[in-house]
Amino acid sequence: MAVNRALFDDVMVPNYAPSSVIPVKGEGSRVWDQENNEFIDFAGGIAVNCLGHCHPALVNALKEQADKLWHLSNVWTNEPALRLADKLVSSTFADKVYFANSGAESNEAALKLARRFALDKFGAEKSKIIAFNKGFHGRTFFTVTVGGQAAYSDGFGPKPGDIVHCDYNDLESFAALIDDNTCAVMLEPLQGEGGIISPTPEFIQGVRELCDKHNALLIFDEVQTGVGRTGTLYAYQGLGVTPDILTTAKALGGGFPIGAMITTTEIAKHLVIGTHGSTYGGNPLACAVAEAAFDTVNQTDVLEGVTAKEALFREGLEAINAKYDVFSEVRGKGLLLGAVLNEKYKGRARDFLNASSANGLMALVAGADVVRFTPSLVIPNEDIAEGLARFEKAVAAVVNG
């Protein structure tokens, strides 16, 4: 049987439009396709492959656990899950951990917990959830409705109720929305899918203060920003603002599917037995790999290295822009960066993505106007240089038509 892009159209639901390139092997920050063409990976599986491809620590953890125990369900607990939970608690504000399979499931758990907490403590009328335009929190019906992009939630019938949105970094509009019937506020401490938008200090601090004033829980969706992506273990640690609930996934498993919701004992106690669950959540294989990823990333040299590598990316992108004048700015923090297209190239992010692929580079977009980069946190400096050289060729191809 020929395994090619045409087979995708024959056998897969048509909700994706993947590249014609089919990768078959990865090592570090390099990937090879079926024809043995080499790519530099600046995409990282959308901020998932925090240690690149086939990192020895992750491969060894997976192989070792594979010979021990694969799955139990939550009728029993297991050692890898307990070790990973203990490390998450020891390294963050949290006291308790709930494991899931993805960022969407982690966010679903966070939202359900917030609603249950408010119901138990304040009554049924305290149910409003505030989120932000251009936000993204997953693809379950609850999370996609909370996410601030109606195009993702329209067309599926009646939506979950009592969810409102305002613009990110608009504290005045937020203050007008929040009230004593607000149970939770959900936000990304750096918007990813929405265009790589960082919060202003005044905004993020103001949101925290208003949540406290109105007894609303502050939920940080750190699915994309977490596990070292911004140069701290979690982005909140670099903002001076602590959430009540935090969700993490993507890089948590370094490529193996896993998610988690973490919170305090006082809040967690409202998710009593039977109120929520997951068959695969806390899976021993996933937790063993995630523990290895967590241990590897949560080191001073790795986290400080993220900031150093950010500087290399910014310098390279500025040099490219000085030649071709295609970007209005480079946004983001750490290794979650977005090159924003200027007016002349507005709406053409996918053209730059396709040209990158044609020149041996994997990149991403964040909407129609932003080229996004989320590489491995330990990408070698020489791969950054080579990837930027390939990106320059892609930019030249777009500019020169």
279 is in an annotated binding site: yes
- Domain boundaries along the sequence of the chain: 5-54+300-399, 57-297
Look at residue 2 and tell me whether its pLDDT is greater than 90: no
Mean pLDDT of the chain: 97
Quick one: pLDDT at residue 303?
A: 98
Look at residue 312 and tell me whether its pLDDT is greater than 90: yes
- The CATH fold assigned to 5-54+300-399 is Aspartate Aminotransferase, domain 1 (3.90.1150)
* CA 309 – CA 378 distance, rounded (Å): 9
116 is in an annotated binding site: no
Catalytic residue among 39, 126, 128, 221: 221
85 is in an annotated binding site: no
374 is in an annotated binding site: no
Query: Tens digits of per-residue pLDDT, 197-227?
Result: 999 999 999 999 999 999 999 999 999 999 9
| Average pLDDT of span 279-283 | 96
| Average pLDDT of span 33-49 | 97
* CA 249 – CA 132 distance, rounded (Å): 20
57-297 is a CATH 3.40.640.10 domain: yes
Q: Residue type at 339?
A: A
Quick one: pLDDT at residue 401?
A: 85
Helix (H) or strand (E) holding 221: strand 217-221
223 is in an annotated binding site: yes
221 is in an annotated binding site: yes
pTM of the full predicted structure?
0.96
End-to-end CA distance of the chain: 38
Positions of E strands within 128-169: 128-132, 163-166
Burial code (b: 16+ CB inside 10 Å, e: under 16) for 199-231 equals beeebbebbbebbeebebbbbbbbbbbbbbbbb
Q: Is 42 one of the annotated active-site residues of the chain?
A: no
Catalytic residue among 126, 250, 309, 333: 250
139 is in an annotated binding site: yes
Query: Tens digits of per-residue pLDDT, 49-79?
Result: 999 999 999 999 999 999 999 999 999 999 9
Checking phi first, is residue 330 left (phi over 0); if not, alpha (psi -120 to 50) or beta?
A: beta
Band of residue 140 on the pLDDT scale cut at 50, 70, 90: very high
Q: Is 221 one of the annotated active-site residues of the chain?
A: yes
Burial code (b: 16+ CB inside 10 Å, e: under 16) for 92-121 equals bebebbbbbbbbbbbbbbbbbbbbbbbeee
Quick one: pLDDT at residue 210?
A: 98
* CA 329 – CA 339 distance, rounded (Å): 6
Question: Sign of the C-alpha dihedral, residues 43, 47, 48, 52?
Answer: positive
Look at residue 1 and tell me whether its pLDDT is greater than 90: no
Catalytic residue among 39, 117, 136, 327: 136
Q: Is 250 one of the annotated active-site residues of the chain?
A: yes
Look at residue 254 and tell me whether its pLDDT is greater than 90: yes
Band of residue 90 on the pLDDT scale cut at 50, 70, 90: very high
Look at 91-100, 105-114, 141-150, 335-344 and tell me which has the smallest mean pLDDT. 141-150
Quick one: pLDDT at residue 38?
A: 98
